[in-house]
Chain A
Amino acid sequence: MLVRVPKTIKLYINGAFPRTESGRSFGVNASDGALYANLCDATRKDLRACVDAARAAFEGWAHRSAYNRGQILYRMAEMASSRTLEIEECLREVMGLSETAARAEALAAVDAFVYFAGFTDKYQQLIGSVNPVSGPHHNFTTAEPVGVVGFLPDAGMSYSGFVAHLAAILSSGNSVIAVMPGKLGPMLAPLAEVLATSDLPNGVVNLLTESKNELFKQLATHMEIQSLCVGDPALFAEARKLGIENMKRVAAPRKEPNQLAAILDFVEYKTVWHPIGV
């Protein structure tokens, strides 16, 4: 008989795996009711560390070439692919998925990384434009990442759905702070390892777990966060209100995240004019 030793899953902040500064943790049960793992109960100080990291990483990531971001997202697909066994096991044990369903989920996540890896250098062409203004000016509109995005999925979001939204937000050059609720929490461990081994610059993605919903208000009001993706419909209006001080762009996750719209929810449009003449 195998003795199961519950893991302690740490946070993922600025490319490192720290414990929460509070020293608090909470247990998450496997689908059979036994303790599966202990998760860090992240605090506002942990969140602040994430914002510092995400802010510092943003410009560098946004100004990587689109090709390079695509390479790194594709590397994530490779890393996720080589960890499918571990990911499947976690999905079976924590979420109680069947072997087939767990396999499908793990592969769907790999596919999502691949999908958005191929989108980093194309979405601009689909939504950008050269505008035929009536004066002698060259005028063009491009899409740019919005900045630091706070990602708060609802507890019911699937693992592959989480990965797809994460990849969509990253693909345009945003940095992300995600809070992984409920049964998604334990998935932090394999996912963070995928991210940490994919040449993603430190701080571009930061992953937190918590037990008491303490981080929502801080995320929604933080002046250094430009946009929110809020999954829980009950929190959506509240997020819009709390985010008004710095006019946050608040979006809901997409039912089908593998689409252009999932990128466009987190971009800004810039229009540049230049005279034509000699």
Chain B
Amino acid sequence: MAVKAQARIVKLPKSELLVPAKSKHHLAPTFDFQYAPAPEAVDFVKIEARQQLFIDGKFVAPKSGKYFPSINPAKAEQIAEIAEANAADVDLAVTAARRAYDKTWSKLSGKERGKYLFRIARIMQERSRELAVVETLDGGKPIKESRDVDIPLAAAHFFYYAGWADKLDYAFPGRSVSSIGVAGQVIPWNFPLMMAAWKIAPALATGNTVVLKPAETTSLTALILADICRQAELPDGVVNIITGAGATGAALVGHNGLDKIAFTGSTDVGKRIAMAAASTGKKVTLELGGKSAHIVFEDAALDQAVEGVINGIFFNQGHVCCAGSRLLLEESIAPVFVQKLKRRMKQLRVGDPLDKNTDIGAINSAEQLGRIRELVAAGKKEGGDFFETSGSLPSKGYYHRPCFFDGVTSSSLVSRVEIFGPVLAISTFRTPEEAIQKANDTTYGLAAGVWSEKGSKIHKTAAGLKAGVVWANTYNKFDPASPFGGYFESGWGREGGRHGLLPYLEVQGP
């Protein structure tokens, strides 16, 4: 078999060879694009220097009296001070949510609940430019992503679930459904507004009230969303936003007044939350980590597959739980594919996230940059063929060049550990069976990708992959109508689509 596979190795056409065959790592482009700066305007955005908690329909100072800085990672500069909620603040928020649930929200008809959600969706669309700019300022993601992906999807999520609010009787035929109560929701920093929408929209549509805690490095768009709820005249206490770091999150998920916990974040924290909730009656859904495999067969449309792989691992600086961080190449095309990948990576523009031409923005925080560097250093020690793009990075701020480790094994660190950065691990396979086996050789099961022009092979592979989302001949696509969530240690439950209603409903009857 090995000999046969060797014999089939595809040669890269001469026209595509951009470097002399002698030079192994340095691909000098034959042309040199110079992009003029194209910065997004920020002057119309006003960010309050001191951000408060949103409890019971009002922005209030924290009982803790404490504030912490929020840093723009693109420049390593403070952009605002964020209130730090302590246990007393959490208690106020949960109490407000309970009161709103008992007095107003659970008594409102689905039709009326839906209208509030439609209103929120509309206002999000109207304020989309502001939201996109703040998302990029606060989190470091390229403006083209916050503008074209995060904000539109967040609004679409509200729009989608708004329509469910008065149609829940159709969702699970023959069974009756009811709301659960008060949900405590903790979300990560990689898609701040979108994650808030994924949490709040289905919870409200199904008649629950929420207390949401955004990640400490990205609180700002969640607080604009709070303002949007106020603008939409959402009844007080239905949505409460409390800010803070891990301690605030722990106080929230540990609060006895919750009926439901929804968490998106790391598997370690998710396990701790599940452990704490195990002996309580709280329902728990978790969207956790991943180490998703991206399989490219020799009969794939290679140039499209290169784009898919690039999007899979470098979208949002690789800060994506479902990032295609393990590339599995069929042996016969591996050399050509890696060449093409290098060439495409050289064209990625790393830099100012506010520039409309930027492909890869800033790493979300100094801490995360440190973690990525540590893992890359450890990966280099373990071996593998390391490649990163060259070119200058901004002098201030947190940046990491897109890179990969070629020729690594399934057991290597970079193949096993979720790096949450622009770091790809590449290995090869010889048969479809081996591809599936290697793809499934992980404790996670969030997503996977497969590239082939042969339909039957796509379906067979998709059926064999143990992952909640399989992208075939595409990657990193999201939609409010499409359920998202993982197998195994990638979590419990689905968000999006009809299945995304289940975590927020009691379902009775046969």
A134 and B156 form a contact (CB under 8 A): yes
Q: B114 at the A/B interface (Cβ < 8 Å)?
A: no
Residue B348 is within 8 A (CB to CB) of chain A in the complex: no
What 0/1 pattern do residues 247 to 278 of A give for CB contact below 8 A with B? 10100000010111100000011111111000
Contact (Cβ within 8 A) A133 B482: yes
**By the criterion of a CB under 8 Å from any partner CB, how many residues of chain B are at the interface?**
44
Contact B489 A271 (CB under 8 A): no
Q: Are B481 and A131 in contact (CB under 8 A)?
A: yes
Chain A residues near B471 (CB, 8 Å)?
A: 272-273
If A240-B278, A241-B278 touch, does A246 touch B488 (CB 8 Å cutoff)?
yes
Q: Does any Cβ of B come within 8 Å of A237's Cβ?
A: yes
* 8 A Cβ contacts from B466-510 to A: 467-474, 477, 479, 481-485, 487-492, 494, 497-499, 507, 510
Decide: A139 and B479 in contact? CB cutoff 8 A: yes
Bound state CA distance, A272 and B173, in angstroms?
A: 24
| 0/1 interface trace, chain A 25-63, chain B, CB 8 Å (1 if under) | 000000000000000000000000000000000000001
Q: Is A85 an interface residue when CB atoms closer than 8 A count as contact?
A: no
Tell whether, in the assembled complex, residue A271 and residue B469 are in contact, meaning their CB atoms are under 8 Å apart. Answer: yes
Residue of B nearest to A262 (CB): B510
Q: Does B271 contact A (CB under 8 A)?
A: yes
A212 at the interface (CB under 8 A from B): no
A141 contacts B499, C-beta separation under 8 Å: yes
- Given A133-B479, A272-B470, A274-B473, answer yes or no on A249-B494 (Cβ-Cβ < 8 Å): no
Does A129 touch B at the CB level, under 8 Å? yes
Are A273 and B274 in touch, CB under 8 angstroms? no
Closest Cβ–Cβ distance, residue B472 to chain A (whole Å) = 4
Across-interface contacts of B465 in A (CB, < 8 A): 270
Chain A residues with Cβ below 8 Å from B288 are 247
Chain A residues with Cβ below 8 Å from B468 are 268-271
A135 interface residue (CB < 8 Å to B)? yes
Residue B462 is within 8 A (CB to CB) of chain A in the complex: yes
B510 touches A272 (CB 8 A): no
Given that A133-B482, A247-B491, A268-B487 are known contacts, is A274 also in contact with B472, CB under 8 Å in the complex?
A: yes
Query: Is B279's CB within 8 Å of the partner chain A?
Result: yes
- Return chain B residues, CB-CB under 8 Å to A131: 479, 481-483, 497
Q: Is B443 an interface position by the 8 A CB rule?
A: yes
B507 touching A261, Cβ below 8 Å:
yes
**Cα–Cα distance between A246 and B156 once the two chains are bound (Å):** 34
Q: Which residues of A contact B274 (CB under 8 A)?
A: 240, 244, 247
A interface secondary structure, majority? mixed
Q: Is B18 an interface residue (CB 8 A)?
A: no
Chain B CB within 8 A of A226 CB: yes
- Least CB distance from A238 to B in Å reads 8
Most A CB within 10 A of own CB, among B484, B492, B497: B497
Question: What is the bound-complex CA distance between A146 and B274, given in angstroms?
Answer: 19
- Pair B470/A237 contact, Cβ less than 8 Å: no
B498 nearest CB neighbor, chain A only: A129
Q: Does chain A have a CB within 8 A of B275?
A: yes
A271 CA / B463 CA spacing, docked (Å): 10
A137 at the A/B interface (Cβ < 8 Å)?
yes
Q: Which residues of B contact A256 (CB under 8 A)?
A: 510
Within 8 A of A (CB), among B170-214: 173, 175
Asked if A132 is at the interface of the complex by the 8 Å CB criterion, the answer is yes
Bound Cα distance from A262 to B175, whole angstroms: 13
Tell me if B458 counts as interface (CB < 8 A to partner A).
yes
Least CB distance from B162 to A in Å reads 15
Contacts of A240 in B (CB 8 A): 274, 278-279
Known: A256-B510, A273-B469, A273-B471. A241 touches B275 (CB 8 A): yes
The answer to whether B474 touches A273 (Cβ under 8 A) is yes
Instruction: Kindly state the separation between the CA atoms of A75 and B264 in the bound complex, as whole angstroms.
Output: 44
Nearest-CB residue, chain B, relative to A129: B498
- What separation, in Å, do the CA atoms of A246 and B270 have in the docked complex? 12
Q: Complex Cα distance A135/B473, Å?
A: 14
Least CB separation from A127: chain B residue = B499
22 contacts between A and B (CB under 8 A): A63-B463, A129-B497, A135-B477, A135-B479, A137-B474, A139-B482, A141-B497, A237-B278, A237-B279, A240-B279, A246-B488, A247-B488, A247-B489, A247-B490, A256-B510, A261-B175, A270-B465, A270-B470, A271-B470, A273-B469, A275-B473, A275-B474
Sort A-B residue pairs by CB-CB distance and give the 6 closest, nearest first: A133-B479, A240-B278, A237-B279, A259-B510, A131-B481, A241-B278
Apart from A241-B278, A258-B510, A260-B510, 13 more pairs, CB < 8 Å:
A129-B497, A133-B477, A137-B477, A139-B479, A246-B488, A247-B267, A247-B274, A261-B510, A268-B468, A270-B462, A271-B482, A273-B477, A274-B473
